[in-house]
């Protein structure tokens, strides 16, 4: 058997150098635990970046994948398939939406939302306002929508029709509304941008502004949807309903799947030929997502997510109290929490992540601001305790 470092070397030789990978090759996972090729164990508080919300190889999801793989793996969207229909029904029954378009990633879901907003807006309505600090994906249009210039650099010219409003500034946003504006796109909580929630009154202000100017409101819930915040979708807790919502990451617990949801009236702008995806709504991915929804919506599951989220927050707040010289605050919703480092300590963020990796805890550093805690939603309080201990040790080092 080849060991960890041999695999790392082989990977580094043939893969495009697009990721700052830690020196590890993962081979197996179960629940919140990952195993590398050298037999080492890690407590996983990254969960594929909020993807494996039910943990690695959740039995219900693996069984659904296996069963569907023996029935039908793919047909064109020229035909219906049963898992895709059932999944769309479930997503609509559990949200404001009436119709769903399926694709394969978060960026694709946002591309679909951008196209729908432009089509629904009508002639000359193409401009989308997004927020500073946002992250919407890596395709050219979603990079253009992303409000962080580091993602634009080297790829200019950016596709036209995207402007960025200053974060938290409703008047600044309103000043950007012009004759070509068709929508406002935002994450209810910025994940990549450093685990930064948008205040409910700010979101309500954005909603009201959209109504007033006839703009569509698009929520990018690619990271915070699918139970992460303690409700199936984050908007449910915020008293604000968008017109379009995008999902991906946790949707199929690790199989590539994205979705764009909208109400009947907005969705009507798409007609046959408007948009398409070869793999979108693939039966195996859809079967996995159905098992995910079934598990998330079982009685008490989401209440437990909220309970464990509160438990994690309490533990993190104790750390902030003990190390006020290094830690600034805790922010997030449910089981997406950021431990914000003090400005003068932020350069240490990557070293803390590296140190935690050596101790056997996987965490990442979001937006050069916050250690991001996004464990599988099935995490236990004992696992949360262990993670908090390791974080404290890494901070003390």
Ligand X SMILES: *Cc1c(COP(=O)(O)O)cnc(C)c1O
Per CB under 6 A, residues contacting ligand X are 105-107, 110, 135-137, 187, 191-192, 220, 222-223, 248-249
CB of 97: closest distance to ligand X in angstroms? 18
CA distance 52 to 58: 9
196: region left, alpha or beta (phi > 0 left; psi from -120 to 50 alpha): beta
Specify whether the CB–CB gap between 43 and 362 falls below 8 A.
Answer: yes
Q: Which is nearer to ligand X, 7 or 45 (CB)?
A: 45
User: Which residues, including other chains, have CB under 8 Å from residue 271's CB and lie 6 or more apart?
Assistant: none
Residue nearest to ligand X (CB): 106
Q: Which is nearer to ligand X, 55 or 147 (CB)?
A: 147
CA distance 191 to 228: 11
Helix axes 59-69, 283-296, angle to 10 degrees: 150
Q: Which is nearer to ligand X, 286 or 327 (CB)?
A: 286
Specify whether the CB–CB gap between 277 and 74 falls below 8 A.
Answer: no
3-state secondary structure of 130: strand
CB of 48: closest distance to ligand X in angstroms? 10
CB of 140: closest distance to ligand X in angstroms? 12
Read off the tokens for 318. 């104790």
CB of 204: closest distance to ligand X in angstroms? 20
CA distance 57 to 59: 6
Q: Which is nearer to ligand X, 257 or 339 (CB)?
A: 257
CA distance 262 to 254: 24
Count the helices and strands in the chain (H runs, E runs): 13, 17
- Positions marked catalytic: 135, 220, 249
Q: Which is nearer to ligand X, 228 or 326 (CB)?
A: 228
CB of 222: closest distance to ligand X in angstroms? 4
Specify whether the CB–CB gap between 65 and 255 falls below 8 A.
Answer: yes
């Amino acid at each position: 058997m080849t060991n960890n470092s041999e695999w790392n070397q082989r990977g580094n030789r043939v893969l495009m150098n697009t990721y700052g990978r830690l020196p590890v090759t993962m081979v197996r996972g179960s629940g919140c635990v990952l195993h590398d090729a050298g037999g080492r164990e890690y407590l996983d508080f990254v969960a594929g970046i909020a993807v494996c919300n039910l943990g690695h190889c959740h039995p219900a999801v693996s069984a659904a994948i296996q069963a569907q793989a023996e029935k039908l793996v793919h047909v064109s969207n020229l035909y219906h398939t049963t898992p895709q229909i059932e999944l769309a029904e479930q997503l609509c029954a559990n949200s404001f939406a009436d119709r769903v378009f399926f694709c394969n990633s978060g960026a694709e879901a946002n591309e679909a939302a951008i196209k729908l907003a432009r089509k629904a807006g009508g002639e000359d309505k193409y401009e989308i306002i997004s927020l500073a600090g946002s992250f919407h994906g890596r395709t050219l249009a979603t990079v253009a929508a992303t409000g962080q210039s580091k993602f634009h650099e080297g790829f200019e010219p950016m596709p036209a029709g995207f402007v960025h409003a200053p974060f938290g500034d409703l008047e600044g946003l309103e000043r950007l509304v012009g004759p070509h504006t068709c929508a406002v796109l935002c994450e209810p909580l910025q994940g990549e941008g450093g685990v930064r929630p948008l205040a409910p009154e700010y979101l309500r202000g954005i909603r009201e502004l959209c109504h007033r100017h006839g703009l569509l409101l698009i929520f990018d819930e690619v990271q915070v949807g699918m139970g992460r915040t303690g409700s199936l979708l984050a908007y449910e807790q915020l008293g604000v309903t968008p017109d379009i919502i995008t999902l991906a990451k946790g949707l199929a617990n690790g199989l590539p799947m994205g979705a764009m949801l909208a109400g009947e009236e907005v969705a009507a702008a798409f007609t046959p030929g408007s948009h398409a995806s070869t793999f979108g709504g693939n039966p195996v991915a859809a079967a996995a997502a159905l098992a995910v929804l079934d598990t998330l919506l079982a009685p008490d599951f989401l209440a437990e997510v909220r309970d464990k989220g509160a438990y994690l927050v309490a533990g993190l707040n104790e750390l902030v109290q003990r190390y006020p010289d290094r830690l600034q605050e805790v922010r997030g919703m449910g089981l997406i929490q950021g431990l914000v480092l003090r400005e003068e300590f932020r350069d240490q963020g990557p070293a803390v992540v590296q140190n935690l990796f050596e101790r056997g805890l996987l965490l990442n550093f979001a937006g050069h601001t916050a250690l991001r805690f996004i464990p599988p939603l099935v995490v236990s309080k004992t696992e949360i305790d262990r993670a908090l201990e390791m974080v404290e040790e890494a901070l003390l080092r």
